[in-house]
Chains A and B, each alone.
Chain A
Amino acid sequence: MTALQDAAQETAAKVVAKFSSSTSHEFRGEYSVTVKLDELRAVMEFCRNELKLNFLIDVSSVDNMGEEPRFMMVYELAKVDDSVHLRIKAAVSEEQADGAEVPSVCDLWATADWHEREVYDMMGIRFSGHPDLRRILMWEGYPYHPLRKEFPLAGKPSEMPDVAFTGEAPLADGPFVTSSGASSRVQGEPRAR
């Protein structure tokens, strides 16, 4: 075990000790703590103020369509000196995503502002307490959240007069998906699947 893994394990244990409903999971030396959504804000405040994880590397979200709860918020925390790395996860249902029940952490890490805007834009998860929750990549008025699983890869037609429009991309029997472990190149990289 490296010093980095030790520090991560120790930090994860502190979070689990403080919040009894949270669980810690190790994979290849990385530690993820899964917390309940209503405790997420308290956990993040604890990480920022008590554990001094002063660097929010990334905020992302996962769409597990067909499962309940559907979404998963993922926060990558670290210290600026790179001595600790910790991942915090919280499951979010579709109703919670629409009802802005995910707390914003903009006041704890200023960088969360744009990250949360991206999560809102791409996945449609709304945050409560965000100072300026607008779309960041697509334009205001675009009707979809493109990284949701039900959204087709080719896109959907939309129209915003004088702002932007979208169309459906011709996939021409694609997408081209490679599959590992196939016996030949022809099987591994089919023309279409």
Chain B
Amino acid sequence: MHASYDSKIEGNVIFTRVDAAINWMRKNSLWPMPMGLACCAIELMATASSRFDISRFGAEVMRFSPRQSDVMIVAGTVTYKMALAVKRVWDQMPDPKWCIAMGACASSGGMYRSYAVLQGIDKLLPVDVYISGCPPRPEALIEGLMKLQAKIDGEESTRDLKTTASEASH
């Protein structure tokens, strides 16, 4: 028998790339920062509830502390009065972080072509996924989340490490 053979771990070893392993962990434990600002927040809550159950996608841990969250779900109308507060919460989230603009208002200002409403949160934050709807159905939010998961899966998560290493070697 080969010296390194261990019957206890046979079948339990998987070969993969570091990028893929990190992405797999990240995309399946997205902790949302629920930025509920209007009626979209009701649909966000419905998505978290048992009927739609966002925990099937690993995103049920709504964190009301930005320091513990990975994805900010901007759900609702962002007024100019609220805009810098949203930006401040976003700035407090640690990297890596993603942003979902949920619904028409967060994506573009929606029906509020108004002096009081920011015309899309993408004027302040980098948005990864836009979800249409007013408000979107929970299924739409879940699809948006799956789109974000697919995006995370394609990311080169060790790029920063590689850059740092190559800079150090020069």
Contacts and interface: CB of A to CB of B under 8 A. Distances in A.
Interface of A: 137-139, 144, 146, 151-156, 162-167, 169-172, 174-175
B73 to A, nearest CB: 22
A56 to B, nearest CB: 26
A156 B80 CA distance: 12
Nearest to A147: B115
Contacts of A139: 81
B119 A138 contact: no
Nearest to B112: A169
Nearest to A139: B81
Given A167-B119, A169-B109, A170-B119, A162 B84 contact: yes
B114 interface: yes
Contact of B113 (A154, A164, A166): A154
A151 B115 contact: yes
A192 to B, nearest CB: 12
Given A139-B81, A155-B115, 9 more contacts: A144-B115, A153-B113, A153-B114, A166-B115, A169-B109, A169-B117, A169-B119, A171-B113, A175-B113
A174 B113 contact: yes
A163 B113 contact: no
A164 B114 contact: no
B116 interface: yes
15 contacts: A138-B116, A153-B114, A153-B115, A154-B113, A155-B115, A164-B81, A164-B84, A165-B84, A166-B116, A167-B80, A169-B109, A169-B113, A169-B117, A170-B113, A175-B113
